[in-house]
């Protein structure tokens, strides 16, 4: 469900803005001055919508349109080809997304949701509130680049740009360009296509550029940040299993989980996933150090069928199972409740007693923590500190710790700078790509409407000579595209907010 405090804050803010606007416009004293101030600053207010428009950037757009006419022609012609392909691809993608959404609704399979290419984003629901700054800044950048493409393409085709502006609708920011309609109607359909496709083309280029920057980020930051030496801890959830005097701290470098080497965040996630799927490993312990503990194991069966031999109040002891080499039975296990840190410090991993015989000078046996199903005992290596010992579900450790691949070479460098760049680039990739897809859909009020109309005028003139028939074909195609997009948005919102 949508968080009530966030919803109340948004509604209260818009009500206050709209109330102030209404009072000033109805006041005999301030109405003229207020309306002239709005007009001089290019501002327009309506319920849940504020818009700002200016002509300040017109010279910049005109300069960009004159840089290299030949190169710009190839650039926007490439955008025309991409726009047509994207229009067809967006329809296929929306149909596939709709099928996946319906499948998830009928089967309640979370794996289907994780495979969806497009998902509705609702701040505070499936978008964490601490990520809102990344989301809105990336969305605004994607919108500005989108409209920059339209403006430069229009000026290159001799279509006047009346102005550039930005807006906020409810909480979502955006941008727009105001084109001179009379000029736009005079040029050929192919020229119109270059203008209409320029927005999604620039969104695609921005997406590729952000993806390349994200891939090359270790190279760009190499002089000040190193990678490949471990995963740097940048945040530990307070009160979690990783918190505490013997837990992880901000600035620690994790280099291993059990026998799984960690050189970065990807290894950290891979190792935790591997440990959660494989059986619990054992530890080679000298028989002499374990001998006194044999008599103290008082095993009892848990509800899930596994065995335990320690008190529930014990915070330092753990129950271990092993095969007693002095026992006549080679199948029956014995159990011992011993101090866990003393037991596993400096010991090798093993699966059977034979693994210990090959690496130990004296007699040693393989002891295994006796834990509940899906619970794992994990030694986290973060030198020069001693191992952090974790007992629980591996995903809990994954959620309790935030890490980064970048380790600062100098002490004055901020730990969060690479994280900020990575996160922002990821949002730009996803949002700019999403804008390219959504605006390509043949749908009313989107770029896809004008792209489709211009495409039909450029291709169907010799086949369908009657203009009204071409418009009718375009209307039904737009109606189908609008219904497809509306169905995706409606079902996506329902899936996000109702569950």
Angle at 316 between CA 311 and CA 317, to 5 degrees: 50
In whole angstroms, give the CA distance from residue 187 to residue 450. Answer: 14
Q: Which domains are delineated in the chain?
A: 4-47 (no CATH), 58-216+422-498 (no CATH), 228-280+374-405 (2.30.42), 281-370 (no CATH)
pLDDT value, residue 292: 47
Confirm whether 147 is a catalytic residue: yes
The DSSP string of 240-305 is STT-STTS--TT-EE-EETTEE-SSHHHHHHHHHHHHHSPPPEEEEEHHHHGGGGGG---EE-TTS
Q: What is the mean pLDDT of the chain?
A: 88
Starting from the edge strand earliest in sequence, which strands make up the sheet with 260-261, in order?
Answer: 260-261, 256-257, 376-381, 388-392
Tokens of 82: 């991409």
In whole angstroms, give the CA distance from residue 260 to residue 269. Answer: 11
Q: pLDDT band at 362, cuts 50/70/90?
A: low
Q: pLDDT band at 246, cuts 50/70/90?
A: confident
- Cβ burial of 443 (10 Å; 0-12, 13-18, 19+) is buried
User: Is pLDDT above 70 for 87?
Assistant: yes
Task: For 249-308, write each residue's pLDDT tens digit.
Answer: 999 999 999 989 999 999 999 999 999 999 898 998 887 766 544 445 568 888 878 888
Task: For 378-422, write each residue's pLDDT tens digit.
Answer: 999 999 988 999 999 999 999 999 999 999 999 899 999 999 999
Active-site choice (147, 258, 334, 457): 147
Per-residue buried b or exposed e for 154-167, using 16+ beta carbons within 10 Å of the residue's own CB: bbbbebebebbbbb
Lowest mean pLDDT among 117-121, 230-234, 401-405: 117-121
pLDDT value, residue 295: 44
pTM for the structure as a whole: 0.86
Task: For 452-471, write each residue's pLDDT tens digit.
Answer: 999 999 998 888 888 899 99
Task: For 16-33, write each residue's pLDDT tens digit.
Answer: 999 999 999 998 889 999
Task: For 48-65, write each residue's pLDDT tens digit.
Answer: 999 999 999 999 999 999
In whole angstroms, give the CA distance from residue 421 to residue 406. Answer: 11
């Amino acid at each position: 469900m949508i968080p009530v405090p966030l919803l109340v804050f948004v509604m209260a803010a818009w009500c206050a803005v709209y109330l102030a606007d209404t009072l000033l416009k109805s006041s005999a004293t301030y109405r003229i001055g207020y309306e002239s101030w709005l007009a001089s600053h290019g501002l327009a207010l309506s319920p849940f919508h504020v818009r700002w428009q200016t002509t300040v950037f017109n010279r910049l757009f005109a300069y960009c349109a004159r840089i290299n006419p030949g190169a710009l022609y190839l650039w926007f012609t490439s955008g025309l080809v991409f726009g047509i392909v994207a229009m067809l691809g967006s329809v296929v993608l929306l149909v596939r997304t709709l099928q996946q959404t319906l499948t998830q609704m009928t089967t309640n399979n979370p794996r289907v949701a994780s495979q969806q290419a497009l998902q509705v984003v609702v701040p505070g629901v499936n978008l964490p509130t601490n990520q809102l700054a990344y989301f809105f800044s990336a969305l605004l950048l994607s919108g500005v680049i989108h409209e920059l493409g339209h403006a430069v393409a229009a000026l290159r085709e001799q279509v006047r740009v009346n102005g550039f502006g930005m807006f906020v609708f409810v909480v979502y920011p955006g941008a727009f360009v105001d084109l001179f309609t009379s000029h736009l109607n005079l040029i050929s359909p192919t020229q119109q296509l270059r203008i209409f496709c320029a927005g999604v083309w620039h969104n695609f280029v921005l997406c590729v550029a952000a993806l390349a920057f994200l891939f090359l980020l270790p190279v760009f930051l190499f002089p000040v940040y190193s990678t490949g030496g471990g995963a740097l801890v940048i945040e530990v959830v307070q009160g979690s299993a990783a918190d505490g005097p013997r837990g992880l701290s901000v600035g620690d470098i994790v280099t291993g989980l059990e026998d799984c080497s960690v050189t970065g965040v990807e290894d950290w996630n891979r190792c935790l996933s591997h440990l959660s799927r494989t059986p619990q490993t054992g530890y080679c312990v000298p028989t002499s150090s374990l001998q006194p503990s044999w008599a103290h194991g008082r095993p009892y069966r848990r509800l899930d069928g596994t065995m335990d031999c320690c008190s529930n109040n014990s915070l330092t002891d753990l129950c271990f199972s092993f095969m007693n080499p002095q026992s006549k039975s080679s199948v029956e296990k014995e159990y011992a409740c011993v101090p866990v840190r003393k037991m596993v410090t400096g010991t090798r991993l093993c699966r059977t007693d034979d693994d210990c015989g090959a690496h130990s000078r004296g007699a040693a046996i393989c002891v295994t923590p006796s834990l509940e199903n899906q619970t794992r005992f994990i030694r986290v290596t973060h030198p020069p500190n001693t191992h952090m010992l974790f007992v629980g579900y591996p995903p809990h450790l994954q959620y309790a710790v935030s890490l980064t691949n970048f380790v600062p070479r100098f002490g004055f460098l901020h730990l969060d700078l690479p994280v900020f760049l990575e996160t922002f680039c990821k949002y730009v990739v996803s949002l700019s790509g999403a804008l390219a897809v959504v605006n390509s859909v043949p749908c009313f009020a989107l770029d896809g409407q004008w792209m489709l109309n211009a495409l039909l005028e450029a291709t169907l003139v010799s086949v369908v000579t009657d203009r009204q028939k071409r418009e009718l074909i375009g209307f039904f195609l737009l109606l189908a595209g609008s219904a497809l997009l509306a169905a995706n948005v409606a079902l996506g919102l329902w899936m996000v907010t109702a569950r």
